Amino acid sequence: MAIIAHRFDTRDALFGTLRDVIVADIERALLHRGTASLLLSGGSTPAPLYRDLAEAELDWSRVQVALVDERWVAPDDAASNERLLRESLLTGRAAEARLTAMKNAAASALEGVETCNLAYAKLPLPHTVCLLGMGPDGHTASLFPHAEGLAAALAAHQHCAAIHAQRSAVTGELVERMTLTPWSILQSERLLLLITGADKWEVLQQAAASDDALRTPISHFLHQPRNLEVYWAP
């Protein structure tokens, strides 16, 4: 396990540095492979980062953006991660990037897994960057503690998995999710974890001391023989 921690005094400093890291990785991938791919998380925390990235002077037409996870809601729903990316990142210069979304026409996430896997199988490997977040319950992506489908997702060798989370203050009412599996996430050249606040830093330390991924799913990524870069600010 190798956790590389980058701690900042302010969120502005965090986002500025992280933006530069991601832009440099995209430029390197475009130079050497002709294409780049970003796996991005939803939530309110990364939105300022996405707005900054949107104005980066890159050949966005050769960049593929994909979601790390999604609530099983319509793409125009206020809770949709797809909507978040379209409104924060896929604007300005970055409007030319191609988006691979998770929500499809299937009635449920479970019924939509096959279609989602077919879409994600078209993304070039390895992924250039994967940006994860973490909740106060230790979940990451939509890998929620003790969720229905969690054990299968942890063991899967495919890109996408359906999750039915246990309802909590973290999940809210929207417990039906689609998520990337750890197998897919770990096929990323750079794996980033963006968290803010003293409470989440404490959760991360507790998860690092545990190998119970069913209780704290982020633990799965903290015990891999590869680097996880943590970016934290108060």
Per the structure, how many domains does the chain have?
Answer: 1
Residue 187's domain comprises: 2-233
% of the chain beyond a pLDDT of 90 = 97
Question: Do the Cβ atoms of 6 and 231 come closer than 8 Å?
Answer: yes
Residue 78 CB neighbours (<10 A): 8
- DSSP string for residues in 60-117: GGGEEEEESEEESS-TTSTT-HHHHHHHHTSSGGGGGSEEE-S--SSSSHHHHHHHHH
CA–CA distance, 28 with 46 (Å, rounded to integer): 22
Q: Is the pLDDT of residue 1 over 70?
A: no
Torsion angle of C-alpha atoms 21, 87, 221, 106, degrees rounded to 10: -150
State the maximum Cα–Cα separation within the chain, in Å, rounded to a whole number.
45
Give the domain CATH number at 157.
3.40.50.1360
Give me the pLDDT at residue 3, please: 87
Tens-digit pLDDT profile for residues 86-101: 999 999 999 999 999 9
Q: Is the pTM of this model over 0.85?
A: yes
Per-residue confidence (pLDDT) for residue 226, from 0 to 100: 83
38 to 147, 175, 202: CA distances (angstroms): 26, 25, 28
Question: Do the beta carbons of residue 121 and residue 157 sit within 8 Å?
Answer: no
Query: Strand 160-164's sheet: what is its strand order?
Result: 69-71, 176-180, 160-164
